[in-house]
Amino acid sequence: MSVIKGWKFPIQINESNGRIQTVEDNECVKQSVKMILSTQLYERKIVPTFGTDLRRYMFEVVSPTFVSDLKKTIASSINKWEEHVLDINVSVQATPGPISTVNTSVDYITDIEPTQERVIHKVDANEQ
């Protein structure tokens, strides 16, 4: 029996029963983490503090301070909005040069199943 259940994103219809497809447990948490990372603060009118403030890092110089601040922002947002994440580790990889591509990896363990999960997210101005 599942502990948590939520809609599958992107939203899809189950052709056999005509209902919205759902996900359970760790997959539900993984989708929640992805949604937190891809939602900019104040993007949602009803819950304006949902998400992260990743776009403020867009045109910054990649430095140790940048990496540290980015890790803290991601970890605090996930801890705030996803109650099933127990242990979180955020890593940041950036390409060298004047125009950097910044990728983040979020490793975490949930209180549902103690298996490590990973979400990879590209910090990009053209996110959808």
Domain ranges of the chain: 5-123
Q: What is the pLDDT of residue 63?
A: 86
Q: What is the pLDDT of residue 61?
A: 83
Has domain 5-123 been given CATH number 3.40.50.2300? Answer: no
Are the CB atoms for 105 and 122 separated by under 8 Å?
A: no
Mean pLDDT of 4-11: 90
Mean pLDDT of 94-112: 87
Q: Which of 81, 78, 80 is nearest to 108 (CA)?
A: 78
pTM above 0.75, yes or no: yes
Residues 36-88: tens digit of each pLDDT:
999 999 999 999 999 999 888 888 888 889 899 999 999 999 999 999 998 99
Average pLDDT value over all residues in the chain: 88
